[in-house]
Amino acid sequence: MTVGEMSKRTGVAVSALHYYERMGLITSFRTAGNQRRFPRHMLRRVALVSVAKRLGIPLSDLQEAFADVPLTGTPSHEDWQKASRRWKRVLEQRRQGIERLEKELTGCIGCGCLSMKACTLLNPDDELGDTGAGARRVPLE
């Protein structure tokens, strides 16, 4: 498929398809006339990228989820099953992160101190304390 056909079939802009290709999420090959072509099995990858974007999943996480799916050659059912299991793990980690954030946010809304030492939202595990004393979030001139 040409990049235009791919764009039309997936509803994804040509520039986005090129971006996905640069990120290694999809791949194309060159014809004898040096024209770019996408294998048909890239349609599924682009569809999954679109779903991930809608869910707010970073494309870097998607790279991890696609790690077991070969870019060249048509992926097998088992390849997609592995990707599915990996994706579920990624989603579970995100869900746990959101739950943690929700708990911390609930506490902070009732508190409002924004303490650099105590606030787990502003300075989790006092990360800034490891980099030295004094304010570092405010850019110095």
Minimum distance from residue 86 beta carbon to ligand FES (Å): 34
**Is residue 118 at the binding interface for ligand FES, with CB under 6 A as the rule?**
yes
Query: How many H-runs (helices) and E-runs (strands) does the chain carry?
Result: 5, 2
Work out the angle at residue 135's Cα, subtended by the Cα atoms of residues 131 and 137, and round it to the nearest 5 degrees. 85
Give the interface segment with ligand FES, choosing from 3-11, 23-31, 113-121, 124-132 (CB under 6 A).
113-121
Q: Which token pair is 24?
A: 């290694």
Binds ligand FES by CB under 6 A, chosen from 35, 98, 113, 136: 113
**Is residue 121 at the binding interface for ligand FES, with CB under 6 A as the rule?**
yes
**Is residue 114 at the binding interface for ligand FES, with CB under 6 A as the rule?**
yes
Question: How many whole angstroms separate alpha carbon 123 and alpha carbon 116?
Answer: 6
Binds ligand FES by CB under 6 A, chosen from 112, 132, 134, 139: 112
Binds ligand FES by CB under 6 A, chosen from 1, 108, 116, 128: 108
DSSP annotation string for 24-92: TSS--EE-TT--EE--TTHHHHHHHHHHHHHHT--HHHHHHHTTTS-SSSPPPHHHHHHHHHHHHHHHH
**Is residue 63 at the binding interface for ligand FES, with CB under 6 A as the rule?**
no
Binding-site size, ligand FES (CB under 6 A): 9
**Is residue 119 at the binding interface for ligand FES, with CB under 6 A as the rule?**
yes
Q: In Å, how far are 9, 28, 37, 132 from 31, measured between CA atoms?
A: 20, 10, 7, 57
Q: Which residues bind ligand FES (CB under 6 A)?
A: 108, 111-115, 118-119, 121
